[in-house]
Amino acid sequence: MKSSRRGRKVFARFGWQHLPFRPTFDFGAFLLLPRVSVRMHIPDGVLSPGVCVGTGVIAAIGLQQAFRRLDQALSTRTVPLTGMVAALVFAGQMVNFPIGLPVSGHLIGGALAAILLGPWGGAVALSLVLFIQMLLFSDGGKFAYGANALNMALVGSMGAWCVFQALRARFPTPRGTLIAGMIAAWVSVLAAAACFCVEFWLSYPAGEFPISRVWLLMASFHSLIGVGEALITGGILSIVLLQRPDLVQTPGPDSATRLGPVIGAGCIVALLIAAFASPFASNLPDGLEAVAQQTGFDTRIAQTTPLVLDDYSLALPGTNPEDPLWSKVATALAGLLGTGTVLVLGWLLSRSLTSRLPSAEDLHAG
C-alpha cells in the first residue's frame, strides 16, 4: 500500500490524472493482469499526407542506397548476421520497460544493429523489423512507414554509427568501445524523437497543437528511454566484446569467422525473449503514446482493420482476450510468429546476397 500511495503522489505531481491508467507496484497482481499491448511506432493520421509522402520518398531513397551498399559490400560477416540481428531487435522491441514515470520505453536497436552490421546492414535490419511490425501487427501506419523507417532505420542506425565511430576513434580500447556504443544508443533515441518532432511540426499549422509541449515531453521521455536503450546495448555489447570482439564492425576488412554458433545462439535468444519476456512487458504507454495523450493528437490516430496478430496478440476463435493467462500466451505466440517471420525473411535475404559471395575455392584461386 505504501508503494502504491507513493506512486499516486508521483502521478499527481506530474498532472497526469486524466490518463487511463494508475501506477502499481504489486508484482503478484502484475502477474495476473491481462497483457495490454502498447503500439510503439507512428500510426496513420498523426502526420499530414504531405509529410508522409516526403518522408516516404526520403526513406525509399535511403533504403535503396542501403540495400545497394550492402549488396556491393558482399560482406562475409554482415550478410549472414543481418537476419539474426533483425530477429533480436524485433523480440527486444516487444519488451516495453518502465522508466520511473507512468510511461514505458522499448529498444529501438539502431545502435546495436549498426555496431554489429555497419550502418547499411543496420538500416536494412531495422527496415525489415518495421515492415513486419506494420504488416502483421498494425504497429506503425502504412502511410507512416516512411517516417518510421527514416527516424529509426536510417537516422537511428546511421546516426548511431557516426557517433560510435567518432568516439571509438578517440577511445580505441574495449572499455572505450563499450562506452561509445552506449552513448551512441542514447543519442539514436533522441535523434529519432527529434525527427518525429520536426515531422509533427511540419504537419500542422501553428496553434493547432502545443508544439513546444510536444518537443518538451518527447525530449524528456526519450532521454530516459535512451538510458534503457544504452543499458541494453551496453549489456549485449559487453558480452560480444568478451566472447567475439571480431563481430564489432570496423571500417576495415571482415575478420569474423565461424558465424554458425553465433547465429544459432542469437536466434535462440530472440525466440526466448519473444516467448518468455514479451508477455510480461510493461503495460504503460510508450513515450510517443504518452505524448499523444498529453497533447491531444491521439484523436488524430486513424482506425485500422484488426488483424490476427493485432497489437502483438494472437486472436483465435473461442478465446477470451481479457483472460490474464490467455493474454500472455497469445502475446508469446504472436512474438514467436513475428520473430520467426523476421528470421525467415532475413534468411532469404542472406541467401540472395551470399549466393554472389566468392567461394573459398574462388578466393584461393584468386
pLDDT in tens, 149-182: 999 999 999 999 999 999 999 998 999 999 999 9
Residue with cell 541494453: 232
pLDDT for the residue numbered 11: 38
Tell me the per-residue pLDDT of 195-242, one tens digit each, with 9 for 90 and over: 999 999 999 988 889 999 999 999 999 999 999 999 999 999 999 999
Judge whether 336 lies within some domain.
Answer: yes
Judge whether 180 lies within some domain.
Answer: yes
207, 199 contact by CB (below 8 A) = no
Cell reading at 27: 508484482
Cell reading at 49: 499526407
Residue 254 has pLDDT above 80, yes or no: no
3-state secondary structure (DSSP) of residue 228: helix
d(CA 84, CA 342): 8
**Chain mean pLDDT for the chain:** 83
pTM, entire model: 0.84
d(CA 157, CA 296): 30
Mean pLDDT value across residues 294-299: 92
Tell me the per-residue pLDDT of 53-66, one tens digit each, with 9 for 90 and over: 999 999 999 999 99
Mean pLDDT value across residues 259-280: 91
Judge whether 42 lies within some domain.
Answer: no
Domain range for 318 is: 71-350
What is the separation of C-alpha 114 from the centre of its chain, rounded to a whole number of angstroms?
Answer: 13
Residue 14 has pLDDT above 60, yes or no: no
CATH number for the domain spanning 96: value is 1.10.1760.20
Q: Confidence class of residue 7 from pLDDT cuts 50, 70 and 90?
A: very low
Residue 362 has pLDDT above 50, yes or no: no
The Cα diameter of the chain in Å comes to 73
H/E segment holding residue 94: none
Judge whether 53 lies within some domain.
Answer: no
Judge whether 31 lies within some domain.
Answer: no
Report the first-to-last Cα separation within the chain, whole angstroms.
Answer: 73
Judge whether 10 lies within some domain.
Answer: no
Q: Confidence class of residue 288 from pLDDT cuts 50, 70 and 90?
A: very high
91, 107 contact by CB (below 8 A) = no
Q: Residue-wise over 75-90: b if at least 16 C-beta within 10 A, else e?
A: bbbbbbbbbbbbbbbb
Number of domains in the chain: 1
Mean pLDDT value across residues 343-366: 65
Q: Confidence class of residue 38 from pLDDT cuts 50, 70 and 90?
A: low
Q: Give the HSE-up count for residue 193: Cα atoms under 13 Å, Cβ half-sphere.
A: 27
Judge whether 362 lies within some domain.
Answer: no
Which residues have CB under 8 Å from 165's CB, separation 6+?
251
Judge whether 364 lies within some domain.
Answer: no
